[in-house]
Structure 1
Amino acid sequence: MKEIRGAEVAKALKAQMTEDIAALGGYIPQLVIVRVGERPDDISYEKGAAKRALAMGLRCTSFVFDAEISHEEFVMEFQKINKDPEVDGILMLRPLPKQINEKEIERLIDPGKDIDCIGPMNLARVFAGETDAYAPCTAEAVMEMLKYEGIDLKGKRVTIVGRSLVVGKPLAMLMLGQHATVTICHTRTADFQGTCHNAEILVAAAGKAKMIKKEHVADGAIVIDVGINLDEEGNLCGDVDYEEVKKTAGIVTPVPGGVGSVTTLVLLKHLIQAAKQKRR
């Protein structure tokens, strides 16, 4: 069994991005992170993204708003950021508080700055198969890991467990674009175990701790674990029961240390692309 670690993939991505930054001729792209409230997971992700951005020599600014801010006031403040010509990319930490109409914010975001694909225009472009669209970062991180490993998706049987707009559905579109044969599993899939076992590549993105066992995985299959959960002991784990599945799979990604390690770098890759497009 081989393990694909995110740090290796991130290192290769970082080397390419360093060249792309140099090609901007001295212009330094700016990322803006928008956070509403003090959710610990939002703060953690914000710190991680900002640290990565600054380490790459990029600009990063955070705008933090009170959790009780009204929808109207938030829209007004968000539009200032959205229309600022100095801002190349926006990372909106979600979910937003219930008093804010999140769908309206998604419709407002400038598609050219929507580097995490929360708006309908970029999502539509991903589903239309446009290769220069900003796909959701986690979905693209999965593709980067497969690309790094030299895995050709053409004709491969792929099963994705999970149908969210953040991972499952857009990832299916990205894989179809590489000529894979894709099946999406969900809570109403009739033969869940059999469908998973038929896959040459199995992607777990359902958000349920250790739901994928060795009986779901064919001998030698590639297993990509997107899940981030806490197990019964409070330890970080994925959607895959790693200790069981590693006995059967040919390749597995760990949690932590897998897809999540690549996701933030994909965001910064999109930021650099956005800056390049703006300068054109």
Structure 2
Amino acid sequence: IAMFGGSVFLFPHPVKELADFLKGHNIHINYDAAHVAGLIAGGMFQDPLREGVDTITMSTHKTLFGPQGGLVLAFEKYAEAIKKATFPGLTSSHHIHHMAAKAVAFAEALEFGKEYAAQTIKNAKVLASTLNDLGLKILGEKKGFTQSHQAVVNVLDYGDGGKIEADLEKANIIVNRQLIPGDIKAKRHYMHPGGIRLGTSEVTRLGMKESEMKQIASFIKNVIVDKKDAKDVAKQVAEFRKNYQKTQYCFDNKLGAYEYVKLR
């Protein structure tokens, strides 16, 4: 089996270029779309099944905004084998209480997915390029930094990814520590890698656009480069976020983004 995908997914993978070779050697091709499913659904990323993969595995709760769960997409000839492997082979339940929420999420992806995916990618590009202009080292500069919702920052000039992640969290900015090229060779531990990973999926869902990405980049620089007091930055971030409390790209944007819906 050949696997495409990754937790860092800045650019489309070379599926077209390798599919014929792999199939010529009777190798099954799977594409892990966990991080980019919403971008694919919106037609703004590569189209793996049409580019030659046999199956796609994906989550329903990252760029595709549903409850936690997973999906396997495939051509009909694999259907029975996948069904048997999934149940009773690997799982005992498909969590029926998730089904309605997933149906709504998929319907919203059909209705708003293209606009959402396009803005998410625009936001990631602006966030990455602004951070680069502010002096941070962003991976993928020669290719335009990113074609997805992610950006990756080399933070070795200022510490390690674990420390920077913690510093930013104190300032109300959530990122992931991230292994980057060179970390393994340098024997850096995955808890203290050379980079951090940023994503624009949630802030886009809250209605933020390019100008807001520039402000977010400034907040990040204040913490990483300028070493400003995290508590002061946290207050600024909280004030900034007051204007973005409603979910967008959805059927009902009147509810607060983090409010529970009362059914009765």
TM-score range, shorter chain: under 0.3
Give TM-score, length-normalised by structure 2. 0.27
TM-score normalised by the chain length of structure 1: 0.26
